[in-house]
């Protein structure tokens, strides 16, 4: 819109006001505090960038020293040594053993494990949870053995059993017919 059309649209405007407005120049200078603030911000960015470039990534380099974590599994030589750690009896079948282990959780020994030379595995722990360590197994059935309900399961073709008795949880991976012997051995050891 040009000046003539503007005047017609607005109406009669005093010429003195138009001349005064045309001669008026708005100050283009920013306030002093704003200029010095911008300079200070630029200097801060330059100082931080310089420090990062000079020191590189020293703080980001990992320490090559190994991290030491305590082993939660204690390997013991005998079942008696395992029972000392656990403070409860651990029945052992009359067949060749390969290893005895104790699982430590939060500083306390909680689970005993007996590995046999034939590949079978027995676990015992105070409580009622499944201690088999096998997840995804399929329940085949439940049998009563020596008055205890034993849940027979299979995982990838390998049979195993889980049961609870007298406040303890048990699992046995291997020939499920040996579970009744384990129940008898545990009850005998718990009484005596």
121 and 186 in a single domain? The answer is yes
The enclosing domain of 81 has a CATH number of: 3.40.1000
Report if residue 122 sits inside a domain. yes
Inter-CA distances, 119 with 4, 35, 95, 159, 191, Å? 105, 81, 11, 12, 29
| 1: pLDDT strictly greater than 60 | no
**pLDDT given for residue 122 in this prediction:** 97
Report if residue 66 sits inside a domain. no
Q: What is the pLDDT confidence band of residue 38, given thresholds at 50, 70 and 90? A: confident
More confident residue, 123 or 71: 123
| 11: pLDDT strictly greater than 70 | no
Q: Which residues contact 141 (CB under 8 A, 6 or more apart)?
A: 151, 152
Report if residue 46 sits inside a domain. yes
Number of domains forming the structure of the chain: 2
Let me know: does 155 contact 60? Beta carbons within 8 Å.
Answer: no
Note the pLDDT tens digit of each residue in 98-150.
999 999 988 899 999 999 999 999 999 999 999 999 988 999 999 999 999 99
96 and 9 in a single domain? The answer is no
160 and 89 in a single domain? The answer is yes
Average pLDDT of the residues of the chain: 85
78 and 37 in a single domain? The answer is no
DSSP states along 131-185: -S---S-EEEEEEEETTEEEEEEEETTEEEEEEEETTEEEEEES-GGGHHHHHHH
| 88: pLDDT strictly greater than 80 | yes
What average pLDDT does the segment 25-52 reach?
Answer: 76
| 152: pLDDT strictly greater than 90 | yes
38 and 80 in a single domain? The answer is no
53 and 83 in a single domain? The answer is no
Query: pTM for the whole thing?
Result: 0.63
17 and 97 in a single domain? The answer is no
Which residues form the domain of 43? 3-60
**pLDDT given for residue 8 in this prediction:** 64
184 and 105 in a single domain? The answer is yes
Note the pLDDT tens digit of each residue in 172-190.
999 999 999 999 999 988 8
């Amino acid at each position: 819109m040009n000046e003539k059309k503007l005047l017609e649209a607005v109406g009669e405007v005093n010429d003195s006001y138009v001349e005064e407005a045309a001669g008026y120049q708005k100050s283009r200078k920013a306030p002093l505090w704003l200029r010095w603030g911008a300079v200070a911000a630029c200097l801060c960015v330059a100082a931080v960038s310089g420090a990062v470039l000079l020191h590189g990534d020293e703080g980001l380099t990992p320490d090559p020293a190994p991290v030491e974590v305590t082993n939660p599994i204690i390997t013991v030589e005998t079942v008696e040594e395992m029972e000392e750690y656990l403070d409860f009896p651990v029945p052992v079948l009359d067949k060749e053993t390969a290893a005895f282990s104790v699982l430590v959780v939060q500083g306390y020994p909680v689970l005993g494990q007996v590995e046999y030379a034939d590949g079978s595995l027995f676990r015992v722990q105070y409580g009622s949870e499944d201690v088999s360590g096998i997840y995804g197994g399929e329940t085949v059935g439940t049998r009563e053995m020596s008055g205890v309900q034993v849940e027979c399961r299979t995982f990838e073709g390998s049979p195993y059993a889980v049961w609870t008795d007298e406040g303890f949880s048990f699992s046995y991976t291997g020939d499920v017919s040996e579970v009744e012997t384990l129940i008898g051995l545990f009850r005998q050891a718990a009484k005596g």
